[in-house]
Structure 1
Amino acid sequence: MDSFGAKGTLKVADSEYEIFRLAAVEGAEKLPYSLKVLLENLLRTEDGANITAEHVKALAAWDPEAEPNTEIQFTPARVIMQDFTGVPCVVDLATMREAVKDLGGDPKRVNPLAPAELVIDHSVQIDSFGNPNAIERNMEIEYQRNGERYQFLRWGQTAFDDFKVVPPGMGIVHQVNIERLARTIMTREVDGVLRAYPDTCVGTDSHTTMVNGLGVLGWGVGGIEAEAAMLGQPVSMLIPRVVGFKLTGEIPAGATATDVVLTITEMLRKHGVVGKFVEFYGEGVGKVPLANRATIGNMSPEFGSTAAIFPIDDITLDYLRLTGRSEEQVALVEAYTKEQGLWHDPSKEPVFSEYLELDLSTVVPSIAGPKRPQDRIELSDSKAQFRKDLHNYVDAPVTAEEAGSFPASDAPETNIGDEQPEGQEPIKRVSAAAGAEGRESKPVEVTMEDGREFDLDHGAVSIASITSCTNTSNPSVMLAAAVLARNAVEKGLASKPWVKTSIAPGSKVVTDYYEKSGLIEYLEKIGFYVVGYGCATCIGNSGPLEPEISQAIQDNDLSVTAVLSGNRNFEGRINPDVKMNYLASPPLVIAYALAGTMDFDFEKDALGTDAEGNEVFLKDIWPDPAEVQRIIDSSIDTKMFDDSYSTVFEGDERWKSLPTPEGDTFAWDSESTYVRKPPYFEGMTAQPEPVKDIEGARVLALLGDSVTTDHISPAGSFKSDSPAGQYLIANGVDRKDFNSYGSRRGNHEVMIRGTFANIRLRNQLLDGVEGGFTRDFTQEGGPQSTIYDASVNYEKAGTPLVVLAGKEYGSGSSRDWAAKGTALLGVRAVIAESYERIHRSNLIGMGVLPLQYPQGESAATLGLDGTETFSIAGVTELNEGTTPKTVKVTATKDNGSTVEFDAILRIDTPGEADYYRNGGILQYVLRSLAAK
């Protein structure tokens, strides 16, 4: 439909494109950039049913002051996935093909209707490090661990239309996205006509927002929503508030893009932007290089915003040219955005809902930690702040669940050893306890097999890793790290012998410019060898520490630290031996490897001495920004991008030689412990059963504030005595072959057993117990049990389950298994004080009811301790086609007394109500496909 007469033609050089002109809609010109992109989306997809003229008018008449209350249906142009979250998507698509067939439909109807691309980047682990063979060895181990999954993904690439896979070793999904996959302006043939429209995307990773730096509107969704988007379902959303973030000034010489992003993260988290769009504008935007824009966009989930977008301008076009996009494409991007009022004009100040401003010249070097990305610390205060924070960690013992949670066979095979820069004596007895007066200290003597000797203490930097999508996409910080390494080597400095050092670039282009600049040799001299092209340390794939170091930490309960150039540093995420985790720029990662301890003041403490015996401070080796820029200009060119990406979907010999199954439906292997057919559609009927109220429910977990999807979703490695470990052993898998939860996301049996099993989860049904445990009220007295085992007993007893939680429940990465696992454990409802956007949506997508306590109330204020039996009444109103604002919750205590309250029903849109009525989003889509 074209109610507004917006359809027209745009001529660019010798080509003509069909476009939908925003100027046809009154009020469009006043909208912020991001809402103009949404408006075009509605104009183009108007069908009179899901997307109507009224929706278009409502968006054009957007009131910046209003609270979001108008639902629209956003149809992303494409979907992007990484392999941890992408495997279950493909598993579900394969299962849906069979289910459609069972319901009398054509299995080939289950195909991505929007282009879908999957980048395998989450599976490489740093087993080998500090040596020239590290990258090859890590990739060999990666294929050994993940061959079964990779075969399945190769089947998907051949079986499904419009689905492409980027094999392992090419780069990190978000960097591959901005450097090659993102179109900025899409073109597609529709009814014989070439149509142009803004590139938009959703991704199965929360840092999909990195592409916002390129002017592409997109954000992370759960795998559940991504599957629906691939199958043509629009994403249901409320027209958001838009926060205008004005940038002025320029970054000063001592600061980096990472410092800017940590500053912005702190500001926006403090301001409160959950569920909002953030849009950058102002004169300072033109001073922000594209790579810095991508770094800022990447951290959107850390502020809590849905998106954090930069408009398109000359900087965008320059980047498109640099990364090898064709001149025709660049010309289209410029012509289209200028025609549609999407080109950035710094002289105009759009109207926003809220305003913030940052003068970039005020940014100072910073780190963030020890457990949240928004907890920014000025570098000059880092030592003092570490000493304050250390009190919270020295009395937190390493649990049995943590100790030795990496398989013994995964111990590092090689390390830095005694190799030092020329002219310097091998390090012998050194200490991470030097100058430890005035704080907790427990120096422990460690002797390594290769002869290294040192004292390890609280605060020792055990991991220093340049890793993650956030910064490894950015030449300014990557080359700054390399220059700092060169300067350090020339001064005779070396990484401390207890530090596990690594570089995991976002793409092969990084290695190309490191080699062309001649700086890679200096990084290697201080132990920073390339270990793989993947997320690595930032997602918990740091690999184990060396055995002697790990043992010393566990035996003495040392609170050691990790420093990484990533975006996430939640508790228990980086490495099971490491309690305190800090985010820092790549050059500061190297500086901390040189210092060897977080108990270090870079202004006052010397990093070492040079050949003449002079003390060397960080300021003496800090890179000159002008030199870094000269190296960027002379070392990076378009040919690098063309060479790296010319075979992006082909893979190496390992990939090409994988045996690939064939056929429209997948031949499930009953012996597989990696890929299993999930039970979502078993017994499903063509019409949904009526929704029922919940009676006699028990509490599976009583949780506090800021429980993240990392706490809920299975992640990292696991032990033999865990439910997941017991399942694998029962299925003939040796301990050394367990791999990680992430690698087994295609097996629901493993994932259910790991849901709520995070080593740092604190279930308040138990006193002083951490990990995946609860009380099992099917047994007399409610004894302690694993959450999985208790859930099995509840299911046998026919008892539904609820979870009680605090504020910001489900914050963090968009993890579909946080919702899938919750549903498969038998949880029918979650009652929380507040939710993070994606997880609330995913719970509905899996048929779990998200409820919210009345304003100002909580489990504590209502006197709930989790031993009660719950009933939830009023849900059946959904059967009448309406969504109640509240439902009545009654909690009955053992003595028969009751607590009653009206919980807010957080089904926010009619589309979400449809999903819940169908038992979940996949069931809804499946019934739609079968009906056709």
Structure 2
Amino acid sequence: MADSFATRARLDVNGKSYVYCSLPELGKRFDLARLPYSMKILLENLLRHEDGVTVLPSHIEAVAQWDPNAVSDTEIAFMPARVLLQDFTGVPCVVDLAAMRDAVRKLGGKPSQINPLIPSELVIDHSVQVDVFGRADALELNARIEFERNKERYGFLRWGQKAFDNFKVVPPDTGIVHQVNLEYLARVVMEREIVNDEGVGELMAFPDTLFGTDSHTTMINGLGVLGWGVGGIEAEAAMLGQPSSMLIPQVVGFHLTGKLPEGATGTDLVLTVTQMLRGLGVVGKFVEFYGDGLQHLPLADRATIANMSPEYGATCGIFPIDAEALRYLRLSGRSEEQIALVEAYARAQGLWHEPDSPHARYSATLKLDLGDVKPSLAGPKRPQDRVLLEDLGENFRTHLEAFAANRAPRNGDARRMDAEGAAQTQAARLAAKPSSRIRIQDQEHDLTDGSVVIAAITSCTNTSNPAVMLGAGLLARNAVAKGLKSAPWVKTSVGPGSMVVTDYLKKAGVLPDLEKLGFFIVGYGCTTCIGNSGPLPEEVSRGIAENDLVVASVLSGNRNFEGRIHSETKMNYLASPPLVVAYAIAGTVDIDLSTQPLGKGSDGQDVYLRDIWPSNREISDLITATLDPEMFAKNYADVFKGDARWNAIDSPDGESYAWSGDSTYIKNPPYFDGMTMDVDAIQDIHGARVLGLFGDSITTDHISPAGAIKKDSPAGRYLIERGVEQRNFNSYGSRRGNDDVMVRGTFANIRIKNLMLGGEEGGNTVYYGGGGDHGKKLSIYDAAMLYKAAGIPLVVMAGKEYGTGSSRDWAAKGTILLGVKAVIAESFERIHRSNLVGMGVLPLQFKDGENAGTLGLDGSEEIAVTGLEDGAAKTATVVARKVDGSEKRFQVKVLLLTPKEVEYYRNGGILHYVLRQLAAKQAA
């Protein structure tokens, strides 16, 4: 381990002596006084990994001399201290590692070479669905169904836990990955035994950093830990000791002052922050929070803001280590020894924050007085679209016209043609507000546009925050006291992020009040926030379908993209847990809760939201009286052990996995089929066809298979052909370990709009491959397979912000397995662009001001991409040849941003690169 700048120093704490890479020592040569907190962590990472090959002195100098105003083209290598997985993304990671063990043997290596080299922890939290709700046994029944559905997957993960070193699994029904990370797994400062240059073992202290296979890994930034979401392929490379190449980022400073006013929550704050940062534009940048407002911001609120970094587009949204961080570590049951190490290290490194600390220099700054935050929601389909509570009814009505525009006319309602045969105006149709009569619990009710059919307290974003969770409980208590009830058509649920939440809700005495409103605990997992909302009651679904109603969900989650929450809810609003309860009572989003009553109390009088909203002091006092370190210590004492169901699952032994050809869950993927040690030069693309032509904001939810599997979809037909009954389809997420299922669901989202079909919704395309199907509408999968059989490469074209959303590696894996060689878009979200490169798909960017529309392209063209120059080119030429033989030529940017990315792409992907490196090392 090189030390060109002589930064090795010693830190004595807890009776132990640690070696560390001292930033103050480096500060004797460079001015680090106003370097951002996050940049100091990157700098330490480089100092610790300097090796003269991957990390050079010049890299260290570049970060030490960081220019906040420059857009850097300097590539640095970042090596996280650990990797965090959840089961939807973690299962394919373990599948890939198992496949790599088989592949490396064929290349002349040893299976044991494929083994995590850094701590890698997986939390099973994405598999529980809200099948049962509104009853006391919902938790037990949903858990039972979860194990029945996922027994094969869980057995595979148990094999992985036994087969791989440095790999641990947190079993189901424990908590949500990011909340478990915040409450237990995060170290903040790590220690590790190393062997020094003299061959002597010693302890090294260094910052806790991580990659997570979920974009909301950034939640841990709230505790001062630098980490962000990556695709599974990048996480696997890190597990195998490969550093991640990145350009030195710009850092945006967010100055917080004041304190939250009465009635405002941490959720309202994060929705405000998200809107502000989206407006500024922070994609690919670090965001760092500072200012005297931090002293009034509890750790849970910081974690909420950090959690939603993907929603405002930043790589991370980090807070520094300070007294509040130590208070949280103590509250959550961390040892006094660990807390002492965190404080001593942070102070020694200049990473400690005081309210009056001078702030760093930043690339740009924003400022927010916390006192200006107002009660808010976000929606109806993007988390950055904040709407004030008082404006929600108007927001709903404004968006209703677009959502109801394609509603089919029905006999007997206000949408009929008039006597002269002229259509009623859209305004008249909307004014009619169609309704469906439904019968629930032996009573009839009217379901209308705007009816709230899902009200879910869900997602670690908010369930990690005692203030909003206990606030919801107090609001429920006050509502029950007034005689209010939830609307009977609302599917209500609570999905706590950890068992600690249940304990403090019980101790506070508010869980019974939530249950009286239908908010029973349904499971310890992500549930509704990731689309595991389960089926709506049959009567409600029938009522929605009867008049094609535009109904809504209100959830305390972080994502509300189209088609994500539930296929039958066209409008989805993010809100704080107390507001989720309030809208369950109101039963509609077509309301202004600041002026209109929630309903009538038992005394017949109108009850308003202000009548039942708890005060900040009430919430604060309840937190103080309720939470204690023993709660955390008890619930995390045996966190990796699991219950009897988990430990009873059969799992094979052995260093290589025994694949079953009959499995529809776990399958050896085809990525390494026919792979050799030889690597070809990067070739231009010729004779390609357009698989999809899309507009702006195509998310990974649109691309990656997610949610329920429809019976008549390519994936549904595949499962039926293999004897799987529809009731056992489970979700796409649970089948991410089987590429045959997943490739059939890629680009199959019910809300994706392919402009080749005039913007028609659904995963279809027009096939231009010749033969009898030429010019026909086919499913994207069926068309792709015809193209593949004919040896025709494919491209995808899209607008701005392509690939926003969760860090789903299957959005890239499915793309390459469909035969897509390049994606041409106006702009990309950071994680998805990286994932495409990692799977061997070429990301290309239109020149500013150009897109398929301005260039006159409709998707029928034959495409060539030329001038790649074996990956050295920064721009390439696209030639689009139309049916009449005319050509349209235009330039695109080649988004292989670093030399290492060029190598990954040349090798066919990052995993292929790693395999060849390991096999070559064994051969040597």
Common fold, TM-score beyond 0.5? yes
Q: Measure, in 2, the Cα distance between the counterparts of 1:854 and 1:354.
A: 25
Show the counterpart of 2:213: 204
Distance 2:443 2:650 in 1: 44
Task: After TM superposition, give the deviation of residue 105 of structure 1 in Å.
Answer: 0.7
Deviation per CA, 1:588-612: give whole Å up to 9, x if none. 0000001000011112211223333
Q: For residues 699-720 of structure 1, what are the alpha-carbon distances to aligned partners after superposition, in whole Å with 9 as ceiling and x for unaligned? A: 0000000000000000001222
- Which residue of structure 2 aligns with residue 233 of structure 1? 242
- The answer to whether 1:443 aligns with 2:422 is no
- Distance in 2, Cα, partners of 1:231 & 1:440: 61
Cα distance in structure 1, aligned partners of 2:294 and 2:148:
46
The structural deviation recorded for 1:440 is 4.9
Matches within 5 A, 1:696-715: 696-715=687-706
* Stretch moving more, 656-665 or 600-609: 600-609
Q: 2:562 aligns with which of 571, 577, 590?
A: 571
Partner of 2:69: 65
> What is the CA–CA distance in structure 1 between the aligned matches of 2:395 and 2:479, rounded to whole Å?
26
User: Partners of 1:810 and 1:13 in 2: how far apart?
Assistant: 47
Cα offset, 1:398, TM superposition: 9.4
- 5+ residue gaps, structure 1: 400-435
Trace 1:671-686 onto structure 2 (pairs within 5 A). Answer: 671-686=662-677
Q: How many Å separate the matches in 2 of 1:388 and 1:707?
A: 23
The one-letter amino acid paired with 2:749 is: N
Q: Does 1:342 align with 2:354?
A: no
Matches within 5 A, 1:739-754: 739-754=730-745
The aligned runs of 1:848-887 (5 Å cut-off) are 848-878=841-871, 883-887=872-876
CA distance in 2 between partners of 1:683 and 1:36 (Å): 44
Offset, 1:394: 1.6
Distance 2:431 2:179 in 1: 41
Partner of 1:127: 131
Distance 1:795 1:384 in 2: 49
**1:661 is aligned to 2:652:** yes
Question: Match for residue 779 of structure 2?
Answer: 786
1:85-96 aligned at under 5 Å gives the runs 85-96=89-100
Cα distance in 1 for residues equivalent to 2:692 and 2:397: 33
Contact conserved, 2:880 with 2:888, CA < 8 A, in 1? yes
Superposed, which structure 2 residues align to 1:73-222 within 5 Å? 73-191=77-195, 192-222=201-231
2:48 corresponding residue in structure 1: 44
**CA drift at 1:397:** 4.4
8 Å Cα contact 2:681-2:870 kept in structure 1: no
Partners of 1:394 and 1:440 within 8 A in 2: no
- Secondary structure at the residue paired with 2:917? helix
Q: Which residue, out of 757, 772, 793, partners 2:763? A: 772
Residue pairs, 1:390-401, within 5 angstroms: 390-397=400-407
Return the offset for 1:13: 3.3
Task: Please report how far the alpha carbon of residue 437 of structure 1 lies from its aligned counterpart in structure 2 after TM superposition.
Answer: 12
Q: Which residue of 1 aligns with 2:265?
A: 256
Rounded to whole Å, the distance in 2 between the matches of 1:140 and 1:162 is: 29
Rounded to whole Å, the distance in 1 between the matches of 2:901 and 2:315 is 18
Closer/same/farther in 2, CA of residues 869 and 581 from structure 1, 3 Å limit: same
Q: 1:439 to 1:471 in 2, by over 3 A?
A: farther
User: Which residue does 1:903 correspond to in 2?
Assistant: 892
Asked if 1:497 is matched to 2:488, the reply is yes
1:894 aligns with 2:853: no
Q: Does 1:469 align with 2:473?
A: no
One-letter identity of the residue aligned with 2:117: L
Matched, 1:847 2:848: no
Q: In the alignment, what sits opposite 1:536? A: 527
Render the CA deviation track for 1:709-746: whole Å, top value 9, x for unaligned: 00000000122211101111111111111111000000
| Distance in 2 between residues matched to 1:249 and 1:635, nearest whole Å | 26
Q: In the alignment, is the contact (CA less than 8 A) between 2:484 and 2:602 conserved in 1?
A: no
Corresponding residue number in structure 2 for 1:417: none
Amino acid at match of 1:727: Y
1:513 aligned residue (500, 504, 526): 504
Between the aligned partners of 1:607 and 1:210, the Cα distance in structure 2 is 33
Equivalent residues in 2 for 1:710-749, closer than 5 Å: 710-749=701-740
DSSP-derived class of the 2:10 partner: strand
CA distance in 1: counterparts of 2:583 and 2:285, whole angstroms: 35
* Contact persistence 1:387–1:439 (CA under 8 A): no
1:11 aligned residue:
12
Q: What is the distance in 2 between the residues matched to 1:555 and 1:875? A: 54
Quick one: distance in 2 between partners of 1:42 and 1:688? 30
- Structure 2: how far apart are the matches of 1:773 and 1:363? 43
Residue 243 (1) aligns with residue 243 (2): no
Q: Are 1:440 and 1:458, in contact at CA under 8 Å, matched by a contact in 2?
A: no
The match for 1:930 among 916, 919, 924 is: 919
Distance 1:563 1:520 in 2: 20
Cα distance in 1 between the residues matched to 2:867 and 2:408 = 45
Give the CA deviation at 1:813. Answer: 0.6
Alignment check: 8 A CA contact 1:203 1:226 kept: yes
3-state SS, counterpart of residue 865 of structure 1: coil
Match of 1:829 in 2: 822
AA of the residue aligned to 1:172: I
1:819 aligns with 2:820: no
CA distance in 1, matches of 2:898, 2:354: 35
Letter in 1 for 2:42: L
Provide Cα deviations, 1:386-417, integer angstroms capped at 9, x if missing partner: 11111111234499xxxxxxxxxxxxxxxxxx
Secondary structure at the aligned position of 2:118 is classed as coil
Determine the C-alpha separation between the residues in 2 that align with 1:903 and 1:633. 57
SS at match of 2:366: strand
1:623-659 Cα offsets, whole Å, 9 max, x none, are 1111111111111100000010001101111001001
Pick from 261, 266, 287 the counterpart of residue 296 of structure 2. Answer: 287
Q: CA deviation at 1:7?
A: 1.1
Counterpart CA distance in 2 for 1:856 and 1:455 is 48
Task: Please tell me whether residue 311 in structure 1 is matched to residue 320 in structure 2.
Answer: yes
Residue aligning to 1:606 = 597
In 2: Cα distance, 1:787 partner to 1:665 partner? 35
| Deviating more after overlay: 529-538 vs 606-615 | 606-615
In structure 2, what is the equivalent of residue 299 of structure 1? 308
The one-letter code matched in structure 2 to 1:905 is V
Q: Deviations over 1:82-113 (max 9, x none)?
A: 00000000000000001111111111010111
Q: Any idea what the Cα deviations from partners look like across 1:851-895, whole Å, max 9, x if unmatched? A: 0111211111111111000111122433xxxx2111111111111
Describe the SS at the equivalent of 1:671.
coil
Partners of 1:768 and 1:445 in 2: CA distance: 32
Query: Which stretch of structure 1 is more off in the superposition, 2-11 or 775-784?
Result: 775-784
Determine helix, strand or coil for the equivalent of 2:365. strand
CA distance in structure 2 between the partners assigned to 1:611 and 1:734 by the alignment? 47
Residue 465 of structure 1 aligns with an amino acid whose one-letter code is: A
Amino acid at match of 1:34: S
Instruction: Give me the whole-angstrom Cα distance separating, in 1, the residues matched to 2:519 and 2:14.
Output: 48
Aligned residues: 891
Rounded to whole Å, the distance in 1 between the matches of 2:275 and 2:895 is: 28
- One-letter amino acid of the structure 2 residue matched with residue 612 of structure 1: D
Gaps of 5+ in 2: 196-200, 410-427
Is this contact kept in 1: 2:389–2:594, CA < 8 A?
A: no
Query: CA 1:211–1:398 in 2, change beyond 3 Å: closer, same or farther?
Result: farther
1:364 to partner: Cα distance:
0.4
**Cα shift at 1:439:** 4.2
Q: Name the SS for the 1:579 alignment partner.
A: strand
Of stretches 809-818 and 689-698 in structure 1, the one that deviates more from structure 2 is 689-698
2: CA distance between counterparts of 1:92 and 1:10?
A: 40
Q: Distance in 1 between matches of 2:612 and 2:160?
A: 50
**Contact 1:23–1:29 at 8 Å: present in 2 too?**
no
Partner of 1:146: helix, strand, or coil? helix
Please tell me the residue identity of whatever aligns with 2:896.
I
* Contact 1:84 1:123 (C-alpha < 8 Å) held by counterparts: yes
- Partner of 1:809 in structure 2? 802
CA deviation after TM superposition for structure 1 residue 70, in Å:
1.2
